[in-house]
Structure formats: C-alpha cells, structure tokens
Amino acid sequence: MQANTGLPKQLCDLTVLFVDDSLTMRRIIRNSLEKIGIHKFLEAEHGAMALELLQKHKVDVILTDWNMPVMNGEDFIKTVRRNPVLKDIPFLMITTRGMREDVLLAISLGINGYIAKPFTSNILKEKIVKLTLSKKTAEPKLKPEMLNSN
C-alpha cells in the first residue's frame, strides 16, 4: 500500500516488512512491533526474500538491516527504488552506532530514516509514526546534512 494515499492511519493498520538475517534480531523486532500495537508484519532474512514478499503483499513501511547475505540492504533498496510500484514505500534502516559510512550510503540511496541498535520500542514507534502517519505525503527522503540531528 502506498504511503501517500493521504489518509490518516492507525498504527495497527500498518503492514510492516522487516528484513534481517539474524533470527535474534527478527525476534526483537517482532516483539517491539507487537508492543507498539503493530500486528501485521512480514519478515524476511535478506533482500531477495523481501522482494518476493513485496510482490505478493502490500507493505506500508520497510525496516531493513544493511549487512546481509544473498542480497544486502544496498542492493535491496536500489531494486525497490527502481520499481515503479514499490518505489515510494518508506524505508527505515536498522544499523549500529558507528556505521556512519553505511548510513551515508543508505541516505544517498533514498532511505527515509535510520535507527541504531540497541533501540527501544518507543523509539521504533516514533520513527514509524514519523514515516507513515504524521504527514500527508511520504516523509521526504533523508539528506546527509540531517544526519547529525538524528
């Protein structure tokens, strides 16, 4: 589902796709989503698996890890952004502190936000709300100069 339909949405209406090769991380993300009231989610272990899911399901926001086997975050977002149907889905990058270069690259590829591990479910909620609910149009893509304020 495109995020720019303009209709205000509840968190519980959102479908979130999260992509991470670590089973522990997937469990942590799943737990936090449920905690903040999101119960519709899809999970994938890497970009290629996520792309398959995107063909079959409408997704409102994507959370993705960066360093993954088979298809990493970089190739994944490039593919999504090139796809006319999927290109506007907001992307939230999951990263760790100190991965500045990765974040800069991700920004140049069009992520809409990033979140550093370890994060709390409240922070995750804020980020998701910011990307999906508060604006009539999709959150403008991040620019490198915004990096420090985040």
Partner 1 sequence: MENLAAKQVPDEVLNDFIIEANELIDQVNNDLLEIELGNYGEEQINRILRAFHTIKGTSSFLKIKESTKIAHTIEDLINELRRLKIRPSPEVIDVLYNTIDWYRKLIIALESQNAYDKNIKNLLNDIQNSLCAVENNSSYSVPVPSDREDLESSSLKLSKITENTIRINVENLDTLISLASELVLEKNRLLSIIRSLNKKKNCNDETSKLENLYITLGYIGNEVQEILTQTRMVPISQIFRKFYRFVRDLSRDKHKSIDLVFGKEDPRIDRSFCEIINDLLVHLLRNAVDHGIETPEIRRTKGKPEQGTIHLSAYQNGNQITIEVQDDGMGISPAIILQNAIQKEIISATKANQMTDKEILNLIFKPDFTTLTVASQISGRGIGLDVVKTNISKLNGTIDIDTKVDCGTKFIISFPVTLKILAGLAIKVVDEYFIIPAYAYYDILKLSECVIQESSGQKKVHYKNSQIPLISLAELLNISDGELQKEKYVIVVAMAEKRIGLIVTELFIHEETVVKSTVATKSKVPYTSGTTIRSNGQMALILDINKIIDWGYREEVAVI
Residues at the contact surface with partner 1, assessed by CB under 8 A: 21-25, 27-28, 31-32, 35, 45-46, 48-49, 67-70, 96, 98, 117-118, 120-122
Q: Shortest distance, CB of residue 93 to partner 1, whole angstroms? A: 13
Compare residues 8 and 69 and give the one whose CB is closer to partner 1. Answer: 69
C-beta of 17 vs 68, nearer to partner 1 = 68
Nearer to partner 1, 52 or 150 (CB): 52
d(CA 16, CA 25): 15
- In sequence order, the 6+-apart residues with CB closer than 8 A to the CB of 18 are 26, 29, 30, 33, 41, 42, 43, 44, 62, 63, 64, 94
Omega within 30 of 0 (cis) for the link into 140? no
